[in-house]
Amino acid sequence: MENREELLTEILKRVQKNYMHMAEIERITKELGDALSRNDQESAQLLIRMRQDEMERADAVKQEIHMLLQASGGEREKLLSWLKGEDKYLAECFEEKKILELSTQLLQAINRTISVDKVINSKVAGEKSYY
């Protein structure tokens, strides 16, 4: 990376993309629950495929973030902390604050999605549930 600001901007772009993917995964997961409660197997299968595609896109963005972190040098520990939603390091500039803010929102979306997924999985798999 040319400089620190450029690196932060690139990471922020990826975190925003990742948040958008997670929001879509959350929406699809809720729709999947609705389809399963209606016993609509055809819609459920389509939604499962859509969710998997979105998860693959999110994984690709996570890989991009990982690559950028490789280039972050001494900033790596701070960036990893912010990406985990931790505020143990002071976020000073706009990009740092947004990375922390979006990462926190991303983690909340993940937790909401997991909660919905647990309910779906328990209904479908019963005692053989993943959870």
> Does 131 map to a domain?
no
- Helix residue ranges, H only, the chain: 4-37, 41-70, 76-83, 94-125
Span 81-100, average pLDDT: 95
Dump pLDDT digits (tens) for 7-52: 999 999 999 999 999 999 999 999 999 999 999 999 999 999 999 9
Judge whether residue 71 has pLDDT over 90. no
Count Cβ atoms within 10 A of the Cβ of residue 65 and give its class: 0-12 exposed, 13-18 middle, 19 or more buried. buried
Whether 16 is covered by a domain: the verdict is yes
Q: Can you give the length of the chain in residues? A: 131
Residue 52 lies in a domain: yes
Task: Examine the pLDDT at 2 and tell me if it is beyond 70.
Answer: no
- pLDDT score of 124: 81
- The terminus-to-terminus CA distance of the chain in angstroms comes to 41
Res 129: pLDDT: 67
Residue 60 lies in a domain: yes
Its sign, for the CA torsion 83, 87, 92, 94, is positive
In a domain, residue 80? The reply is yes
Average pLDDT for 62-71 = 94
Number of domains forming the structure of the chain: 1
Contact between 72 and 6 (Cβ < 8 Å) = no
Q: How far apart are CA 75 and CA 6, in angstroms?
A: 13
Structure tokens at 27: 């929406």
- Residue 103 in contact with residue 83, Cβ under 8 Å? yes
Task: Give the model's pLDDT for residue 104.
Answer: 97
Range of the domain at 116: 4-126
Report the chain's mean pLDDT, rounded to a whole number: 93
Please state the rounded mean pLDDT for residues 80-103.
95
**Which pLDDT band, with edges at 50, 70 and 90, does 70 fall under?**
very high
pTM of the predicted model, to two decimals?
0.89
Kindly state whether residue 35 falls inside one of the protein's structural domains.
Answer: yes
Q: What is the pLDDT of residue 25?
A: 98
The pLDDT of residue 74 is 85
